[in-house]
Amino acid sequence: MTRRAAFKQADLTRALRGAQAAGLEPRGCKINPTTGEIEMQFGMDTGSRNSFDQLMGAK
Domain, as residue range, for 10: 1-43
- Number of structural domains, the chain? 1
Instruction: With beta carbons less than 8 A apart as the criterion, state whether 6 and 36 touch.
Output: yes
Does residue 30 lie within any of the structural domains? yes
pTM over 0.75: no
Does residue 16 lie within any of the structural domains? yes
Does residue 31 lie within any of the structural domains? yes
Does residue 49 lie within any of the structural domains? no
Burial degree of 19 (CB within 10 A; 0-12, 13-18, 19+) = middle
pLDDT in tens, 11-50: 999 999 999 999 998 888 999 988 889 999 988 666 666 6
Does residue 33 lie within any of the structural domains? yes
Does residue 35 lie within any of the structural domains? yes
